[in-house]
Structure 1
Amino acid sequence: MMAERTDAEHGHDEVDAEQVHHDLVAQPHTDEEGPVAEAEAEAAELSTAAAPMGAPGQRIDRRSPFFVGMLGAAGVAVTYLVAQLVVTAQDTLVLIGLALFLAIGLEPAVSWLVGRRFPRWAAVLSVLLALVLIGGGFLAAAIPVVVEQATAFAHQAPRYLQTLKDHNSPLGQLNDRFQIQQHLQQLFSGGGQGSGVLDGALSAGKAVLGTVGDLLIVIVLTIYFLSDLPRIRAGLYRLIPHTRRPRTILIGDEIFAKVGGYVLGNALISLIAGTVTFVWLLIFGVPYALLLAILVALLDLIPVLGTAIAGIGVSLVALTVSWPVALGTVAFFIVYRVVEDYLLVPKIIGKAVQVPALVTVVAVLLGGVLLGVIGALVAIPIAAAGLLILREVAYPRLDQA
């Protein structure tokens, strides 16, 4: 009787083993697999509708000497491999980080539409279409004017170079003091070599192609990140232990909100900077007004330093009109800097990013040194996130230590 039951149980195990063995993996399934077939029978009993992969087993004894040694060695190896990966793929990682940064920045607009009963896909599509329409309309209106002004600048370049030699003109006086013409000749001649211009043109062509390729990568990644951001967010929070997860969600969502508010607010402020600069240049007849206004808007995206660099460049172009116009342009940018810092930023960005002035300057400088323009762009929200973590996590623990 026992033998019959054993045979019956063995037959049941064989059936279960057949059921658990995947149809598309290592077929045919035979009894010659031995212990593996027995394990598959046990796996069939573990698999349920609620847990198809079975329940987790017992935890490994972390105090075992072997486990401690292996964990230490694995930690060193993983740290080394991660460092090598970061160094090797740093350019690609920067693009991925920038795309995620932009996706988080656009998330407030998407979430606002979702809150108005838009499906997620429709909200993302609406935001992207709005960006395409705004960007396409601006380019359609601006490109002809920019091309015309760039062509005019190319035609007027010899006259400007001649003006540099005129000791009575404003540009000539600046040239006598700072040797502008000499620096320009060295820049375009490649240090005196005959092939300097050709090498410079080739390098410029490669840079343009590389920038276009990087831009396409960032756009595609931003769309994917924005579409799948709820799943990415949930996946990141699942990496946090259960006991710490609720507080991590509160802090993490606050960081996401800060980044989103900063990106949208900074873009709006840059648009205002370009618009008022364009109006100023038109009023006083400064040439290449639209070209310079676009330059100001782009540079204003860089906190602290962007407006100053743009103001210097525009003021130099204003010198081609007259000294008073150039000095007035300098005063205009100083006043605008004050208005932006004390009126526009508090009103538009508001409490989304609260970073002291000293931390802002240090963060922008360090970000620019480490990652260039991209580092300067993301420096302030990263600093804001760091300050939030210090205030909510580090300081309370240090106060109780």
Structure 2
Amino acid sequence: MTEDSTTEPADGDEHGSDLGRPRRRAGQPASPDEELTAETEAPATRSSSSGQPEDRPESSLDRRSPFVTGMTAAAGVAVTYGVVELIITARQVLILIGLAFFLAMSLEPTVSWLVRHRLPRWTAVLSVVVLALGVVAGFLAAAIPILITQARQFAVQMPGYLQSLQDPRSTLGQLNAQFAVQQRVQQWLSGQGANLAQGLLGAGQLVLGVISGLVVVAVLVVYFLAAMPRILQALYRLVPAQRRPHAIQIGDEIVFQTGGYLLGNVLTSLIAGTVTFVWLVIFGVPFPLLLAVLVALLDLVPVLGTITFSVIVSLVSLTVSVPVGLATVGFLIAYRVVEDYLLVPKIMRNIVQVPAIVTIVAVLLGGALLGVIGALIAIPTAAVIQLLLRELVLPRLDRA
């Protein structure tokens, strides 16, 4: 082959850096395109030969520019808005899940006690669930027939009550003459008559919704109880290893306080229902069992429940006579004082220590945010917040 047909090897051919580039003949002047290509590849060639990378060009996107800052802020606002909308949309389900987890935490001390006495976890959970269902089933089996009987008696006595409203000599008649109760009820019925069917349908849907919600909560409680050790372990794993022992101590204290509060609250409610039932029977107030069950249920809700059942029981007692009604009001006030300053301190001593003003504020806020469920869990939530402040926040502030 002649010398003209050979090509001059460029620098770096032996390293394969010129592979894929068109070669030019020896002595042939370089074209403008080849000169531009050589200038472009020169930095890369020097970098590969020296082993040191060239300085990288600065990014054309300045993260501190107003545009990037604005886009980042807009994306953060959009994500926050989406999360809030998701929580609002699923708030009913989240409330049921939270209530189920609260009840599971409340029953966890009992399950743990059974486990410490050499029972398998599933046996302990099954025992607690069966016991709770047995108590509820036994209560319903004993109360429903009597409630049905008293409801029938109320339906039979309803015409007599309506007649007493028109008798100015009776207590109901005097109340009717002073406050125009019958006229107001008739006006309300005439104005709402077209909506009664929709109201009954809505009431039926409400009852079905409550029943389905109770079933969901019961199922979730069983699952939460069965998996409670793994759930707590997963939560503790989120805490750094050095602080994990302190976190475990705080978590155990939270479970203990929650369980103690629920069991103590149930016991005080049973006492309130029993004492009220005895009082109503002694003074001949109608529907004593129905009212006692209502008192026991409403007493589970602090402050709001007490006010509600006190008003209802007092109004029903007025149907007997004014002295009986006034005596019942005095009895309810006296029992409230005894429960607040004698029973609750005795039952919940060293379990939930929340100041009275914090209790009232927590119940009001819980009731305003989540209704009855919020008022029910307000006090243990306040106790948990108080515990976290005492164990985590205040020591840091003292060291600052």
Q: TM-score range by the shorter chain?
A: 0.7 to 0.9
Figure out how many residues of one structure are paired with residues of the other and give that number.
Answer: 335
Contact 2:96–2:216 under 8 Å retained in 1: yes
Distance 2:248 2:178 in 1: 58
Letter in 1 for 2:379: I
Instruction: Between 376-385 and 165-174, report the one with greater CA deviation.
Output: 165-174
Contact 2:109–2:255 under 8 Å retained in 1: no
Cα distance, 1:186–1:255 mapped onto 2, change above 3 Å: farther
Pairwise CA distance, 1:78: 4.4
Distance 2:138 2:159 in 1: 34
SS of corresponding position for 1:166: coil
Could you tell me which residue of structure 1 aligns to residue 198 of structure 2? 199
Distance 1:178 1:120 in 2: 60
Distance 1:133 1:111 in 2: 20
Distance 2:159 2:114 in 1: 53
Cα distance, 1:184–1:138 mapped onto 2, change above 3 Å: same
Distance 2:72 2:349 in 1: 46
Unaligned runs of 5+ in 2: 1-61
Unaligned runs of 5+ in 1: 1-63
Letter in 1 for 2:136: G
Aligned: 1:324 with 2:317: no
Cα distance, 1:111–1:73 mapped onto 2, change above 3 Å: farther
Could you tell me which residue of structure 2 aligns to residue 88 of structure 1? 89
SS of corresponding position for 2:210: helix
Distance 1:183 1:250 in 2: 59
Distance 2:163 2:101 in 1: 48
Letter in 1 for 2:301: I
Contact 1:307–1:333 under 8 Å retained in 2: no
Could you tell me which residue of structure 1 aligns to residue 336 of structure 2? 337
Distance 1:224 1:387 in 2: 29
Pairwise CA distance, 1:280: 1.0
Could you tell me which residue of structure 2 aligns to residue 170 of structure 1? 171
Cα distance, 1:363–1:177 mapped onto 2, change above 3 Å: farther
Contact 2:167–2:173 under 8 Å retained in 1: yes
Pairwise CA distance, 1:382: 0.5
Pairwise CA distance, 1:74: 7.0
Distance 2:122 2:204 in 1: 38
Could you tell me which residue of structure 1 aligns to residue 306 of structure 2? 307
Pairwise CA distance, 1:183: 4.6
Give TM-score, length-normalised by structure 1: 0.78
Instruction: Between 386-395 and 268-277, report the one with greater CA deviation.
Output: 386-395
Pairwise CA distance, 1:307: 1.8
Contact 2:299–2:305 under 8 Å retained in 1: yes
CA deviation profile, 1:190-245 (whole Å, cap 9, x unmatched): x6143232222111111111111111111111111111111111111112222332
Distance 2:244 2:182 in 1: 61
SS of corresponding position for 2:240: coil
Cα distance, 1:140–1:193 mapped onto 2, change above 3 Å: closer
Distance 1:371 1:135 in 2: 25
Contact 1:311–1:330 under 8 Å retained in 2: yes
Contact 1:171–1:320 under 8 Å retained in 2: yes
Instruction: Between 77-86 and 256-265, report the one with greater CA deviation.
Output: 77-86
Could you tell me which residue of structure 1 aligns to residue 182 of structure 2? 181
CA deviation profile, 1:321-353 (whole Å, cap 9, x unmatched): 111211111111111101110111111122211
Could you tell me which residue of structure 2 aligns to residue 230 of structure 1? 229
Pairwise CA distance, 1:77: 5.1
Pairwise CA distance, 1:182: 4.3
Could you tell me which residue of structure 2 aligns to residue 151 of structure 1? 152
Could you tell me which residue of structure 1 aligns to residue 114 of structure 2? 113
Could you tell me which residue of structure 2 aligns to residue 47 of structure 1? none
Could you tell me which residue of structure 1 aligns to residue 360 of structure 2? 361
Letter in 2 for 1:138: F
Contact 1:174–1:180 under 8 Å retained in 2: yes
SS of corresponding position for 1:351: coil
